[in-house]
């Protein structure tokens, strides 16, 4: 398969200023994605979509191609991911007259996704004939143990859930997963037609990424935790530095 690896990284960030340029163990969040992508056996081409000259320069320093600048209207808090992907696809089709079999979307906020994870995603797509493969992680708390508080803090819904658990709900014994953000692999024509990764519920598959490699960076405390994981050896940085 010819697969376009696409790093999406806008300049603005409210939770962590300049988040995509922040470093963990001497490598920027964009850098982690760039290095791992280039080590993947299935990476045909690696490009960046960004509105920021600083992010573009950082990406180029890691060997990423920057063929265009993302339009300002696609770099706001209101811009949708599918619009950013669609812009990249339209640019390639219009300016270069070509397409790819699939796109591997990489968001810098999940820096520790490994080259082997990308390889496994492609192998899953081929073996299952999937239209899309999405990174997933095991949930720390099962859904049967989650409930909203009442307006005054009442535990009414939680206690009702406890009563259901006492009756032995089937979900109590199941392992549950949620999206991990590590990778989104989808076929070119599938996305071009539907503008959606999750359109086909029977042809969309989840690839489990285990802890701590599924860590997502959303708040400053996540950066500190990521540094801790590197320093204590819970994340093997040799994957990116060797």
Question: 3-state SS of 20-38?
Answer: HHCEECCEEHHHHHHHHHH
Nearest to residue 237, comparing CAs of 123, 111, 64?
111
How many other CB atoms sit within 10 Å of the CB of residue 60?
Answer: 13
pTM of the model: 0.92
Burial class (CB in 10 A: 0-12, 13-18, 19+), 165: middle
Q: Say how far apart CA 193 and CA 170 lie, in whole Å.
A: 37
Q: Give the span between the Cα atoms of 197 and 223, in whole angstroms.
A: 28
Q: pLDDT at position 172, please?
A: 58
Protein fold of 3-137+176-241? Spore Coat Polysaccharide Biosynthesis Protein SpsA; Chain A (3.90.550)
The token pair that represents 26 in the structure block: 């001497």
Q: What share of the chain is helix, strand, coil (3-state, %, to 5)?
A: 40, 20, 40
Q: Where are the domains of the chain?
A: 3-137+176-241, 140-175
Structure tokens at 142: 């099962």
In the numeric block, which tokens belong to residue 12?
A: 């603005």
- CA 183 to chain CA centroid, Å, is 4
For residues 24 and 223, the answer to whether their CB atoms sit within 8 Å is yes
Instruction: Report how far residue 7's alpha carbon sits from residue 129's, in angstroms, rounded to the nearest whole number.
Output: 24
Ranges of beta strands (E only) in 43-159 are: 45-49, 102-106, 132-138
Q: Give the distance between the most distant pair of CA atoms in the chain.
A: 61
Please give the chain's pLDDT, 242 residues, in tens.
999 999 999 998 777 989 999 999 999 999 999 999 999 999 999 999 999 999 999 999 999 999 999 999 998 888 899 999 999 999 999 999 999 999 999 999 999 999 999 999 999 999 999 999 999 999 988 887 889 999 999 999 998 888 877 676 555 568 899 999 999 999 999 999 999 999 999 999 999 999 999 999 999 999 999 999 999 999 999 999 98
Distance of CA 155 to the CA centre of its chain: 34
Residue in this structure with the two tokens 């890691």, named with its chain if needed: 62
């Amino acid at each position: 398969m010819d697969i376009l690896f696409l790093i999406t990284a806008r300049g603005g960030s409210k939770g962590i200023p300049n988040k995509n340029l922040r470093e963990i163990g001497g490598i920027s969040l964009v850098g982690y994605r760039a290095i791992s992508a280039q080590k993947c056996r299935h990476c045909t081409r690696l490009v960046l979509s960004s509105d920021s000259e600083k992010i573009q320069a950082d990406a180029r320093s890691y060997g990423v191609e920057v063929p265009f600048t993302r339009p300002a209207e696609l770099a706001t808090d209101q811009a949708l991911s599918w619009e950013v992907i669609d812009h990249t696809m339209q640019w390639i089709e219009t300016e270069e007259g070509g397409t790819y079999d699939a796109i591997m979307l990489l968001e810098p906020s999940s820096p520790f996704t490994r080259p082997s994870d990308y390889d496994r995603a492609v192998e899953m797509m081929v073996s299952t004939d999937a239209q899309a493969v999405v990174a997933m992680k095991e949930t720390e708390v099962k859904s049967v143990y989650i409930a909203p508080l009442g307006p005054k803090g009442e535990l009414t819904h939680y206690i009702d859930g406890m009563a259901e658990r006492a009756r032995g709900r089937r979900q109590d014994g199941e392992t549950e997963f949620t999206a991990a953000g590590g990778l989104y692999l989808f076929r070119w024509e599938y996305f071009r037609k539907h503008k959606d990764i999750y359109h086909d519920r029977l042809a969309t598959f989840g690839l489990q990424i285990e802890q701590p490699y599924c860590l997502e960076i959303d708040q400053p405390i996540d950066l500190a935790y990521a540094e801790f994981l590197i320093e204590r050896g819970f994340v093997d940085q040799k994957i990116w530095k060797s």
